[in-house]
């Protein structure tokens, strides 16, 4: 038995085959032509095509033939935007890593979690086992708290209702009321602090990155051993993280706040 096929979904495989076939064609395709091309019975094809059409992944031409829908344009643009953020952020992340000596992460908000999309590692003997694509709950990471700090109360409550605020260590914030207070402080100071809440012995500081439209696009953070980032150094390092986040934002076209001295922080 082919174990690679054991956990696949046949209907989904057929849907993907139809999508890929339409993507390869320069002109719309009829049902009969599609069925022959991907070897799918007409009955199955009808249900698949109807589902894809309802979700705007495909659309019909005037003569009733099928072609890919605009949904793929939006998805493709979303991917390009994320890649663009990585390209813009990488040099600044490297600078932050050199200045602080700490590992730097870039993350986006996805399905109510922080997802690492870039990492710049320091040259220290101790390496963190974090990786691009890794997911973290918002309440136990520096980037997660930074990302959460820009959510509305309603958005935050919906996420917490769905995923909860489970404890990772004795320091983890597990109360929504307390979490909101932590996020309020993060907004005021421009950076969020994670102090051994996701893993004992690890501290993180994160700050939001904004785009040209003023909306949050990502967040960056430094990750350090508790022994290498004493409490008294947190404000200094936090301000460095905040300034680098602002510079990345400015590079993305974000218009900096007009508060005194803020513009100079982005230089």
CATH architecture of 10-80: Orthogonal Bundle (1.10)
At residue 4, what are phi and psi to the nearest 5 degrees?
-65, -20
Banded pLDDT at 155 (limits 50, 70, 90): very high
Edge-to-edge strand list for the sheet holding 135-137: 135-137, 113-120, 103-110, 216-225, 202-210, 192-195
Identify the H or E element spanning 65.
Answer: none
Higher pLDDT, 244 or 22: 244
Q: What confidence tens digit (pLDDT) does each residue in 193-222 have?
A: 999 999 999 999 999 999 988 999 999 999
- Cβ 192 vs Cβ 180: under 8 Å: no
Tell me what pLDDT residue 11 has.
Answer: 87
**Would the CATH topology of 10-80 be identical to that of 84-252?**
no
CATH, range 84-252 = 3.30.450.40
Q: Is residue 40 helix, strand or coil?
A: coil
Q: Where are the domains of the chain?
A: 10-80, 84-252
Alpha-carbon gap, residue 121 to 129, rounded angstroms: 10
- Cβ 132 vs Cβ 180: under 8 Å: no
Banded pLDDT at 188 (limits 50, 70, 90): very high
Q: What confidence tens digit (pLDDT) does each residue in 12-50 have?
A: 999 999 998 988 887 899 999 999 989 989 988 889 999
At residue 112, what are phi and psi to the nearest 5 degrees?
75, 15
Alpha-carbon gap, residue 89 to 102, rounded angstroms: 16
Alpha-carbon gap, residue 249 to 265, rounded angstroms: 12
Looking at residue 230, the DSSP 8-state letter turns out to be -
Alpha-carbon gap, residue 117 to 131, rounded angstroms: 8
pTM of the complete model beyond 0.75: no
Banded pLDDT at 83 (limits 50, 70, 90): low
Has residue 156 got a pLDDT over 50?
yes
Has residue 264 got a pLDDT over 50?
no
Assigned token pair, 167 = 């404890």
Other CB atoms within 10 Å distance of the CB of residue 10? 9
Quick one: which of 115, 187, 194 has its CA closest to 152? 187
């Amino acid at each position: 038995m082919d174990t690679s096929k054991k956990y696949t979904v046949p209907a989904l495989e057929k849907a993907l085959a139809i999508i890929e076939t339409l993507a390869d064609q320069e002109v719309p395709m009829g049902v009969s032509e599609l069925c022959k091309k991907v070897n799918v019975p007409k009955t199955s094809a009808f249900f698949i095509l109807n589902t894809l059409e309802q979700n705007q992944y495909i659309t019909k031409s005037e003569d009733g033939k099928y072609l890919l829908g605009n949904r793929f344009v939006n998805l493709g643009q979303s991917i390009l935007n994320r890649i663009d953020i990585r390209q813009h952020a990488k040099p600044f992340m490297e600078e932050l890593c050199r200045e602080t000596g700490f590992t730097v992460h870039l993350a986006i908000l996805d399905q109510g979690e922080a997802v690492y999309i870039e990492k710049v590692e320091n040259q220290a003997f101790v390496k963190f086992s974090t990786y691009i694509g890794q997911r973290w709950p918002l309440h136990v990471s520096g980037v997660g708290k930074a990302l959460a700090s820009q959510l509305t109360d309603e958005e935050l409550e919906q996420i917490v209702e769905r995923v909860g605020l489970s404890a990772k260590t004795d320091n983890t914030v597990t109360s929504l009321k307390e979490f909101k207070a932590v996020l309020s402080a993060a907004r005021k100071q421009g950076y969020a602090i994670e102090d051994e809440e996701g893993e004992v012995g690890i501290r993180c500081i994160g700050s939001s990155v904004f785009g040209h439209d003023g909306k949050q696009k990502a967040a960056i953070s430094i990750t350090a051993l508790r022994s290498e980032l004493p409490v008294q150094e947190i404000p200094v390092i936090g301000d460095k993280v905040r300034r680098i986040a602002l510079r990345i934002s400015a590079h993305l076209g974000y218009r900096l706040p007009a508060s005194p001295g803020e513009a100079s922080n982005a230089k």
